[in-house]
Amino acid sequence: MNVPFLDLKAQHAPLKDEILAAWSNILDTCGFVNGPHVQGFEAAFAAACGVEHCVTLATGTDALIVPLKALGVGHGDEVILPANTFFATAEGVSQVGGTPVFVDCLPGTWNIDPAAVEAAITPKTVGIVGVHLYGQPFDVDAVQAVADKHGLWVMEDSAQGHLATYKGRKCGSLGVGAGFSFYPGKNLGATGEGGAFTTNDGALAAKIRMLRDHGSSVKYHHELVGFNARLPAVMAAALEIKLRHLPAWTEARRAHAKRYLARIAEIDNVTAPVEAEWADSAWHLFVVHVEEQERVLKALWAADIGAGLHYPTPVHLQPAYAELGHKAGDFPNAEYNASHCLSLPMFAELTEAQIDHVCATLDRVVNG
Ligand SMILES: Cc1ncc(COP(=O)(O)O)c(C=O)c1O
């Protein structure tokens, strides 16, 4: 049995006619930039996240860069973030001239360690970007308490957190605002690149809206030096349609996670993911931990099972950040995660038989 890591063809098949009709309308009206699909999706996504404002952006990375710029991050400013994340979290800070300051994660959830955040604060610190890694919210209240003590803001990197909840509150509504990615493989994926920033701060939303459009809200009048970081209408139209299915897809992921957890509890030498008591994860990724990560990964591929590593090198050890002078051993939990994590197939259309087959194969590969 073949089990792909992700099956976007299966996701799109029942939606294809509806998406093509929306695209046909965009071709007929030539409404390629901004317009009703972008506005419609922004309103619907804000409602889905339980916030007042959603500003769409061209990518999830732009959904960090442009808001960080709007918050005034620049040269000499330090922003604290987990070493254990996708590279873009740090890249956003660097792209506006700030310095990413990495901290370790907690074993188990692999999310940012609030005590490590406090220890990393310096007079140059302006804010904290927490990441809802693998779809599980980080401990926002604990991080916010540290931030409040020191007069800092907390931004969510919610690229993996669509519809996840923290103590019953939606990710995207928890800090000063949240960056989302709609990269095709995300829980809500565009038919190309896409991103959004959600916030309850109207002034911040207005500034981001201006910055994404060359710092302009009136044509050919530029108040700020900004970006061209707009979401194309064809992306918004597909996202609008797909968003209607996101609650059901998220529930399916949760049911799959439950089945995986029950099966993996019976397998020796495989550590199951831990869901914190405050979390209702969006299960963007289902990540177990094993010894011999590379051997197990290759054996799963050989058995026709899609698996991946998220992420094999923590950000502080990436060549791009060599100038920060980090070395192996600086963040032991992030490094342990990088060398032991293994992502198993996870998508809404996965079947129970496929989950059982993945788990049986994993057991055979790990335990012989
Ligand atoms: C945690 C995290 N942050 C940021 C991003 C950047 O998003 P994008 O690829 O849409 O630019 C991603 C996705 O790739 C991500 O997983």
Tell me, in angstroms, the distance from the centre of ligand 1 to residue 183's CA. Answer: 7
Between CA 337 and CA 351 the distance in angstroms is 28
Tell me which fold the domain 246-367 belongs to.
Answer: Aspartate Aminotransferase, domain 1 (3.90.1150)
Q: What is the pTM of this model?
A: 0.98
Which atom of ligand 1 lies nearest, measured to the CA of 193? 10
Q: Which amino acid is at 40?
A: G
The candidate with the shortest Cα–Cα distance to 44, out of 218, 180, 160, 222, is 180
| Per-position b or e across 52-84, b if 16+ CB within 10 A of its CB | ebbbbbbbbbbbbbbbbbbbebeeebbbbbbbb
Domain boundaries, the chain: 8-243, 246-367
Tell me, in angstroms, the distance from the centre of ligand 1 to residue 353's CA. Answer: 31
Which atom of ligand 1 lies nearest, measured to the CA of 92? 4
Q: Which residues contact 366 (CB under 8 A, 6 or more apart)?
A: 267, 268, 269, 270, 290, 292, 296
Q: Show pLDDT as tens, one digit a residue, over the chain (368 residues).
A: 999 999 999 999 999 999 999 999 999 999 999 999 999 999 999 999 999 999 999 999 999 999 999 999 999 999 999 999 999 999 999 999 999 999 999 999 999 999 999 999 999 999 999 999 999 999 999 999 999 999 999 999 999 999 999 999 999 999 999 999 999 999 999 999 999 999 999 999 999 999 999 999 999 999 999 999 999 999 999 999 999 999 999 999 999 999 999 999 999 999 999 999 999 999 999 999 999 999 999 999 999 999 999 999 999 999 999 999 999 999 999 999 999 999 999 999 999 999 999 999 999 999 99
Tokens of 62: 């732009």
CATH number attached to the domain at 8-243: 3.40.640.10
3-state secondary structure of 308: strand
Pocket around ligand 1 at a 6 A CB cut-off: 59-61, 85-86, 88-89, 131, 157, 159-160, 181, 183, 193, 195
Assess contact for 83 and 55: CB atoms under 8 A. Answer: no
Within the chain, residue ranges assigned H as helices are 8-12, 16-29, 36-49, 62-70, 88-95, 114-120, 140-150, 202-211, 233-243, 246-264, 293-302, 332-340, 352-367
Angle subtended at Cα 119 by Cα 272 and Cα 138, rounded to the nearest 5 degrees: 35
3-state secondary structure of 52: coil
